Structure formats: C-alpha cells, structure tokens
Amino acid sequence: MPERLAVLDTSDELAAITHPTRRRVLDALRSPDSAASVARRLGEPRQRINHHVRELAKAGLLVDAGERRKGNFVEQLYEARAHTFVLSPRLTWGNGARLRAIADQVSLQELVEVGERVQRDAAALLDRAAFDGEQVPSAAVAATVRFADAESRAAFLDDYLALTASLIERHAAREGEAYTVALVTYPETQGDG
C-alpha cells in the first residue's frame, strides 16, 4: 500500500521526478500495473516507458507490486511509492550558510518547519479533494502589518498569542476532528528577488 504523501529531499529523487514523462508514469501507477500497460495507456513506446520505470524504481519512487501472468509472459508490476510527492525546499539549500543560519536561529527553524508542514498538509488535503471527492474545510488568513519598532512588534506578538490562546481555550474540545492552527510572523519578503 503506497504512502499517502512522500517528501522528496534527495537530488536523485529530484532528478527522477522532474522529467515530464516520469511524472505521467507515476500518475499512471497510482495503482499496480506493468510498464507495458502504462506504455499503451500513455501512447508511448514500451522501451521508453521501461527506461523511465527503471529510473523511477532506482530512485525509490516506484515499488515492486508483484507479478502478473499474461499468456506465456510474466509482467513485473510497479506502484508509485506514494500518491503525492512534495519537493522539500531544502533540496536547493546546499549545506552551507542556510543550514548554519537555521541552526543559529530557533525561531527561523520553526518558521521553515511550519512552512514545510503546511506544504505537505495542503498537498495531502488537495489529494483528498481531488481523488476522494472530499469537501475539505480549511481557512487561510494572511495580512501585512507594519510596526514602528521592535517593541511594537513584540507587544503585537504578545497580544496575538494571548488572543490565540484565549480562542483555543474557549473553542477547543476533548473529542472531535483535530485541526492545525499555526501562527507565523516574519518580515515581508517582497522585493527579495
């Protein structure tokens, strides 16, 4: 059974998934099938699809899903490792200044982790809507606020945290569907290129 979502964070995985035909192959292999059958469905030569299947399997994006007998032939079946693949932003970071900055600034590390979690969760929820027909209740609020100085920013954050804690305390229940509520604050990046 494939994972619901896989985060890709290696250069081999990135290289494997960036080819447009390979993305079509992954989509076609949301359920177990053979390379030959996928080639027929995609209208592509079997040899070309076999090559892409081998590369996807080598990168760990396809998994062995058994065999199927077809006449005198035995076909190898493959399935996508996950229904959805999300590229980690860390793929482009290298191992230098960004990783040192994140190690030095706990709040910046938290911001990055919240952003990655929102990216993963949004992709998984989108799949539930697209493939399961689910109506997904969600909300997103974004605002740009200007602060006169660091003290004003700190006071705003204290008030915001107090209001958020009060709302959570007032509305949270012991039972029921769990929701993620995230608060992030960071300097606006418009104009950073």
pLDDT tens string 112-133: 888 888 888 888 889 889 888 9
Structural domains of the chain, count:
1
Q: Is there a domain that residue 113 lies in?
A: no
Q: Helices 46-58 and 20-28 sit at what angle, rounded to 10 degrees?
A: 90
Q: Is there a domain that residue 189 lies in?
A: no
Q: Evaluate if residue 190 carries a pLDDT over 70.
A: no
**Claim: this prediction has a pTM higher than 0.75:** no
Q: Is there a domain that residue 13 lies in?
A: yes
Q: Is there a domain that residue 55 lies in?
A: yes
Strands 62-70 and 3-8: unpaired
Residues in a beta bridge with 143: none
pLDDT tens string 22-78: 999 999 999 999 999 999 999 999 999 999 999 999 999 999 999 999 888 899 999
Q: Is there a domain that residue 59 lies in?
A: yes
Q: Evaluate if residue 151 carries a pLDDT over 70.
A: yes
Q: Is there a domain that residue 32 lies in?
A: yes
* Average pLDDT for 75-88: 92
What pLDDT score does 128 carry? 87
Q: State the Cα–Cα distance between residues 167 and 8, nearest whole angstrom.
A: 36
Q: Concatenated DSSP letters for 44-81?
A: --HHHHHHHHHHHHHTTSEEEEEEEEETTEEEEEEEES
Task: Provide the residue range defining the domain that includes 79.
Answer: 3-85
Q: Is there a domain that residue 28 lies in?
A: yes
Q: Is there a domain that residue 149 lies in?
A: no
In this structure, how many other beta carbons lie within 10 angstroms of the beta carbon of residue 139?
Answer: 6
- The enclosing domain of 9 has a CATH number of 1.10.10.10
Average model confidence (pLDDT) for the chain?
89
